[in-house]
Amino acid sequence: MRVGQCCKSFPKQFKDDTEENVNGYPIYRRRATEPVQVGKYSIDNRWVVPYNPWLLKKFNAHINVEVCASVKSVKYLYKYVYKGHDVASVKIQKEVALDHDEILSFVEGRYVSAPEAMWHLNEFNLSHKSHTVVRLAVHLPQQQPIVYQDGQEAQAIERAALRKTTLTSWFELNKNYPSAHNISYSDIPQYYVFDKSITNWKK
């Protein structure tokens, strides 16, 4: 609970059909059933967490799963793979120390399995990075997209007038540097880097 409300957004709303969400969890169908009294609580379909009957029957265990359509789910998995190991604080002391140094007495202890040790000893990579993907803006003159918050439209327009896009900066690059004349817009990231702080292409 946070500020008197469920942090998982329960109770959900009744819904006749399941609705897909392009950036997150789907909004599942929830029939408007009669409430059931469980102890001192009155519960209906709005309070039921999403579940999969097939998985419940197969594993005969407490298991709740949801479809997650957000690209952020990749970030979530990546974090769990590299978040580190289970550790324990180890302290060996023969007598009571009057001058206790908490930093020196702390030892990080963890278990390293044989496969993990072999992987590290052979210096195998823990991750792999491919080439960088640069999104190039395409728009008509003075029609670049502007992102703004309600009530801040004027400030957003002023900022957009000062900032160049990858496209307008490419035109400026060709204007100032003849060496860039033979580089097409789609190939420019192979030879230049777009510095977002100054909105310019740099070698």
Stretch (H or E) spanning 38: strand 36-38
Prediction pTM value: 0.42
Distance in angstroms (rounded) separating the CA atoms of residues 146 and 162: 12
pLDDT tens figures, 44-92: 988 888 888 899 999 998 888 877 777 777 777 777 777 766 666 666 6
Dihedral (CA of 147, 148, 153, 159) sign = negative
Give, in degrees to the nearest 5, the angle at Cα 77 between 75 and 79. 70
The C-alpha R_g of the chain, in whole angstroms, comes to 28
Cα-based distances in Å from 187 to 16, 136, 165, 170: 50, 10, 16, 11
Give the per-residue pLDDT at 143: 87
Cβ-Cβ contacts under 8 Å for 25 (sequence gap 6 or more): 66, 67, 68, 69, 70
Mean pLDDT of the chain: 82
Burial of 180 (0-12, 13-18, 19+ CB in 10 A): middle
pLDDT at 23 over 60: yes
Cβ-Cβ contacts under 8 Å for 112 (sequence gap 6 or more): 85, 120
Residue range 129-156: average pLDDT? 85
Q: Which amino acid is at 47?
A: W
Residue range 159-181: average pLDDT? 89
What pairs with residue 90 in β-bridges? 107
Cβ atoms of 6 and 43 within 8 Å: the answer is no
Cα-based distances in Å from 81 to 65, 76, 121, 126, 173: 19, 9, 19, 10, 42
Sole residue written with tokens 């400030």: 155
Give the per-residue pLDDT at 107: 62
Phi-psi region of 28 (alpha: psi -120 to 50; beta: other; left: phi over 0): beta
Residue range 30-53: average pLDDT? 88
pLDDT at 202 over 70: yes
Q: Taking the domains of the chain in order of start, what are their residue ranges? A: 83-122, 152-202
SS3 108: strand
Give the per-residue pLDDT at 166: 93
Distance in angstroms (rounded) separating the CA atoms of residues 35 and 42: 6
Lowest mean pLDDT: which of 86-100, 136-150, 167-181?
Answer: 86-100
